[in-house]
Amino acid sequence: MQLIQQNPDIHAYLASDEAIDHWHPLVQETADTLWSDTGDAYSYAKAAFEFVRDTIPHSADSGDPRVSWRASDVLATRNGICYAKSHALAALLRAQGIPAALCYQRLTEDDGTAPAVHGLVAVRLPGAEAWSRIDPRGNKPGVDAWFSLDRERLAFPVRPELGETDYPELHAAPHPAALKALQQSADRPELWRNLPTAL
């Protein structure tokens, strides 16, 4: 699949906004700590990915009913669904000058029912000519996502026969449908009802 930058200006994928608030002191502090433990862009990006994947539980796995959507809140509460965890990873990458995009998939249950949009991240390391998608959702039995730039190791490879799809667009800011679901849900049960089924 050919990934498509929605904005041709790479600097758009370094910007901060209300969800990817990489200017926030907690995001900066976390990014500085991870950078000091690594020291180069590749190692930092891998460490940031593993930090979000492994130390911030997906709220569906943990049972946490809280809904976080700002990157700083995700880091503070150590909680979030795929969209929120993607905001956190994008913020950590951008905080160290690494372009990061938000991207999405349409997934279903094993019988093709209950479609929902899943969020993940694309990264473009300095000197790289291409973007690479990575999925910080969090591993569990049946989900095994890894940091890989040459071959995708996503949480959910799509199954076209079930109507699933990869959306090729690389968004500089969260998709409005995903952000609206997060912002307008008081708790995770309500969020589950509000998840977009397609983009």
* Residue 127 in this model has a pLDDT that exceeds 90: no
How many CB atoms lie under 10 A from the CB of residue 96? 18
Q: Taking the model in full, what pTM does it have?
A: 0.97
Residue 131 — φ and ψ, nearest 5°? Answer: -85, 155
Please compute the mean of the pLDDT values over residues 103-112 and round it to a whole number.
96
Please compute the mean of the pLDDT values over residues 77-95 and round it to a whole number.
98
Between helix 82-95 and helix 25-36 the angle, nearest 10°, is 70
C-alpha–C-alpha distance, residues 86 and 135, integer Å: 8
* Residue 179 in this model has a pLDDT that exceeds 90: yes
pLDDT for the residue numbered 104: 98
pLDDT (tens digit, 9 = 90+) per residue, 50-64? 999 999 999 999 999
C-alpha–C-alpha distance, residues 60 and 140, integer Å: 11
Rounded to 5 degrees, what angle do the CA atoms 120, 113, 57 make?
Answer: 35
- Confidence bin at 1 (pLDDT 50/70/90): confident
